Structure 1
Amino acid sequence: MSWPASPVPPGWPASPPGVLVGTHPPPAGSPAVPTGQPGAAPPIFPPPVPTRLPPRRAPRWLSVAGTVLGLAAAILSFGFLTWMVLAVYAAWRRSWRTTLAAACYLALVVGFVAAFADLDAEAEATDLELLSLLGLGVAWLGGALHVLLLDRRVWGVVTGQRSRRAENRRVLREQARFLLHHHPAARHDLRIGRPDLPRTFDDGGLIDLNAVPEPVIGTLPGLSPPQYQQVIMDRWLRGPYTSMEDLAARCLLPPTVTDALREILVFLPPPPPPDRPA
């Protein structure tokens, strides 16, 4: 399928980046178009619209729903289904530690059922039966707490790992911005803002919006598929962005999206073209 020839609108670039204009031979049997006559123009391809979006991570609501359902199953079953919830987590994460915990909770439930299977209502409870009752309590309350801590966000908040990791990333980003301001050559030497390129310098997750390819833009937090396509299209049509305010105005991004992007985006001007030999 070939695109019909059309004149280039004023102010538009001659062709999309990465597309060669006029290199496709005409189909067999089609009349030749003389290039020297007025009105003859090479075929113009439409702007690059991303057809395949990058894979998205699991939404947050799915993780929250899984934690809520696991807690409900462990609490409402009085610990009898705690082992099943842990088994599902173990299969999903392929964790042998969680598998071992699920086996322990199952052993507590089996021990409780075996101890009270032949219980006489008039006989006094033995030490074994009291111990099995205590084990069921551990599977009930301890298992519910265990399911809650399996949520990575909850675990990060309880242990403080999430706040320490976020602070370390923030410090790395500030150092990278300092290098960009005082040593512009670090942009190319250290490849700051280019997670798509191999590098050894950790810039804290900075992304140069004017230089990264389309799949990297699709990983920006908070961008919906239409907004992702709008950013790609506007960057191609109107050139690089100059600031976060410029990005928000040109792509009509709400403050909820720009606030999340302000910490990780940099807007570096495109490098100058190489000097021609004398």
Structure 2
Amino acid sequence: MTTAPSHLPRRAPAPTGGAWYIALALLSWGTLAPVAFLHAAARQRTRAAVVRAAAYTAAVPSAYALGWAGLGGSGTVVLLVGIMIVALVHLGRLRREIWPPGPQFPVRLGIPGPGQDPAVAAALAGRARREESRRIAATDRLLARELRIGRPDLPHTYDDGGLVDLNRAPAAAIASVCGVEPATARRIVEVREAAGVPFAAVDDVFAWAEIPLDLWELVRDRGIVY
């Protein structure tokens, strides 16, 4: 049996941890989903994560109260199912943030394989570095800050593959790394400063700062929050 050449891209593995997040919400019909969000808040330690956990914690008893007061038992079931569906979407994202998959590409991607364009090899190597840097930021924030991951505006020696911290970097750095207009980058900074809380996930930026849909992939590829 032959193996794929090391210079070819590999499928990104699924996150190995946090499967109980999904199981808990699904098997309990949403009633135990707050437990998963409380755990995530304890791991992420951001105000946004705490607010999200508190919202789900309050939503479950509220569903019981509103359901019985309005439509009876059937109303409670409908509300709980709604909570479960929304929670599953959020928990799927949180699971990847807290237990990110390993790098999508092997380190050897920095070396062109037979017939591979050096520019392609360099781009794939950069992608692998970004994935590794995200893993570090998700599991060891102090190390990530010491390495200055996502801070191209500060002196650093660690190669993070070209990331920018959407919670701390200045607008000029965000515009340069993400390839967005300066006005868009300034809006991201203005929103985070006005909110007074850090973004809990890169996707939060899209809603809070009203980023155009055609820029989402650019920001997802280069943006990081931790």
TM-score between both structures, scaled by the size of structure 1: 0.37
More helix by share: 2
Larger Rg: 1
TM-score between both structures, scaled by the size of structure 2: 0.45
